[in-house]
Amino acid sequence: MGDQAKYLPFKKIMLIGEYRYRIGLKNRVALPKKFRDDLGEQVVAMRGYEGSIMVVSRKNWSKLVEEAIGGPLTDPKVRDTARFLMGSAHEIEFDAQGRFVLPQSLVEHAGTAAGEEVVFVGLGRWVELWSSDRWDSRLKKVISQQLRHGRPIETT
């Protein structure tokens, strides 16, 4: 790989997997080490869709926002999407154990609380954080839809 490595413009990250953790006191939770290693130390958390919290690297933040709100400022849908994502965004600071404090507005959005289990789900370029109950319900719905449309799903 020696000579090939110098031609690779950047290390692509692939955030995958599902990890369950418990929210501690003061809404602190540890980002799984694999995700922390791939995302880096500069991370942004914001409201996600379907009641999740999105966690992205600072580097990918700009790209995701451009994709999500790409369009004219005069379009109310563009403005509402910007409000939803950008208005809830928080830069995250990790402690020595890789934990961070979930802002109260995001805790409320995700329907979770201190002492409850949450699920981190890697989705390629970003991570979603879900309350365990919401994730289990959402996953059942996704599997059901996939099966209904004749798309096989590996569940084991």
Write out pLDDT tens, residues 31-49. 999 999 999 999 999 999 9
Q: Has residue 8 got a pLDDT over 50?
A: no
Flag whether 1 is in a domain.
no
Q: Which residue has the higher pLDDT, 146 or 140?
A: 140
Flag whether 4 is in a domain.
no
Q: Are 126 and 13 in contact (CB under 8 A)?
A: no
Long-range contacts of 130-135 (CB under 8 A, 24+ apart): 130/51, 130/52, 130/53, 131/51, 132/20, 134/50, 134/51, 134/52, 134/110
Q: How many structural domains is the chain composed of? A: 1
The two three-digit tokens of residue 60, written as one number: 């990918």
Flag whether 91 is in a domain.
yes
Write out pLDDT tens, residues 61-93. 888 888 888 888 898 898 898 899 899 999 999
Write out pLDDT tens, residues 90-116. 999 999 999 999 999 999 999 999 999
Domain with 32 in it: what CATH number?
3.40.1550.20
pTM of the model: 0.83
The two three-digit tokens of residue 53, written as one number: 């919290």
